[in-house]
Structure 1
Amino acid sequence: MSEVVVIKNGVDVVDDLINVIVSNRDYLSEIDGAIGDGDHGINMAKGFNICKKRIDGKQLTLSEALAELSDSLMEGIGGSMGPLYGCIFTGWSDSVQGKTELTKEDVQAMLANGMSELQDISPAQKGDKCLVDTLFPATDSFAQAVKDGKTFKEALNIMKDAAAKGRDSTKDLVAKIGRASRLGERSRGVLDAGATSCCLLVTQLADSIEARMN
């Protein structure tokens, strides 16, 4: 199996990300309803559908398609999630600019840049019960897997496992950021919607890359 993945059309990968969010719209809103406004899935699906209309039928690099996704979320989602996810996807986009082939090192750099862009606008830390609890472990675990000499596929699977564990960890956390933080101890016992949507996206990214391995 090749350690280089060819991305013939970046729209196809971003379409996969769009589809996983849109198909989980109700699930994400249901989770959010336990300690939030109950609109996370609705808002995310709205922003991702805006991107769908923008990129449908186009031939774009992965960087260009991710940039369209970032812009769509920045413009189409109210509250904090648009800017947060927008920054992540901007980081991913900038890192793979001009690339039509991805190595595991490219994906490592892409993930790290997304995390860095997020940190530029958000003080959130692991343990705050938010998307960071998924994104940071996923990013760090992939980097460690590459450092340990794991294959591309192995590193992707390690990242997926870390993302799922990060998502699940939020169930026992007390929210320290966002609207849910007002609930204090009452925020414990349910998954965080942002961590859950982030897990869906990271997992789908890994699956989309793996599907294009020869």
Structure 2
Amino acid sequence: MAAAAASVEREAGRLTELDSAIGDADHGSNMQRGFAAVVTVLTTDEPATPGGVLVAAGRQLISTVGGASGPLYGSLLRRSGKALGDAPQVTVGELRTGLQAGVAAVAQLGGAGPGDKTMLDALVPAVEALGTSFEAAAAAAEDGALATVPLLAKKGRASYLGERSIGHQDPGATSSALLFAALAEVAK
């Protein structure tokens, strides 16, 4: 979570720039505030298990981040953490299964799927590629985020723009790619 927070901190301006084209120009600052709060909470009261870390991080994002990002990222992390349970350590396969549950929660909450120009365009291929390696997951997430540029937004605030959403990279997919890049960095 600390690596994710550092990545979001570094890229907050770019996330806001992406969001200003097709959203309400607050994705970077919201994610920055949310992940800084996550680091504070985890430093103050460090959960003993990987699942506990994700549940606590998700809970903090829901309470700190405004707009749709808080509930979506919070649900991703909370559901993933709950799927991991109380195991003191998890395998990559168990993490992948937990993340699949988290991605399903995001899809259900947002009513979106791959190709709708949302964070799912990065999350779905990343979790699938996690079966290969952390690096493959990060690359798949980045490719998924870049692949949103030519898409017409079908869900979220960007969908209100209709055809004008085409040609812009989705900020949620981009921040999702940042999280997988941080995961790959830490896994090294």
State the TM-score, normalized to the length of structure 1. 0.81
Q: Give me the whole-angstrom Cα distance separating, in 2, the residues matched to 1:120 and 1:35.
A: 22
- Look up the SS of the partner of 1:170 in the other structure: coil
1:44 to 31, 44, 58: 31
Q: Which has the larger radius of gyration?
A: 1
Contact 2:149 2:170 (C-alpha < 8 Å) held by counterparts: yes
Aligned residues: 187
Q: For 1:35, give the aligned amino acid.
A: I
Following superposition, the deviation at residue 98 of structure 1 comes to 2.3
Change (3 A) 1:59 1:47: closer
2:134–2:183 CA contact under 8 A, matched in 1: no
Aligned letter for 1:20? S
Task: Provide the rounded CA distance (Å) in 1 between the counterparts of 2:157 and 2:19.
Answer: 11
CA distance in 1, matches of 2:3, 2:102: 18
Q: What per-residue deviation string (whole Å, max 9, x for no partner) do you get for residues 28-47 of structure 1? A: 10111111111100011111
Runs of 4+ in 1 over 4 A off after TM superposition: none
Match of 1:27 among 9, 14, 33: 14
- Tell me whether 1:111 sits opposite 2:89 in the alignment: no
Mapped to 2, the partners of 1:65 and 1:202 lie a distance apart of 16
Q: 1:59 to 1:179 in 2, by over 3 A?
A: closer
Name the residue aligned to 1:159: 137
Post-superposition CA distance 1:91-142 (Å, at most 9, x none): 2211223233232211221221111222332210111111010001111232
Contact persistence 1:172–1:190 (CA under 8 A): yes
Match of 1:67 in 2: 55
Instruction: Give percent identity, aligned residues only.
Output: 33
How far apart in 1 are the matches of 2:91 and 2:46? 21
- State the 1:57 CA deviation: 4.8
Q: Which has the higher contact order (CA 8 A, sep 6+)?
A: 1
Distance (Å, rounded) in 2 between the aligned partners of 1:207 and 1:59: 21
Question: Where do 5+ consecutive residues of structure 2 fail to align?
Answer: none
Aligned to 1:182: 160
Aligned residue type for 1:160: A
Could you list the runs of 5+ residues in structure 1 that have no partner in the other structure? 1-13, 146-154
Q: Deviations over 1:165-194 (max 9, x none)?
A: 101000111111112112111111111100
Q: Distance in 1 between matches of 2:20 and 2:109?
A: 26
Root-mean-square deviation (Å): 1.6
> SS of the counterpart of 1:24?
helix
Conserved? CA contact 1:90–1:117, under 8 Å? no
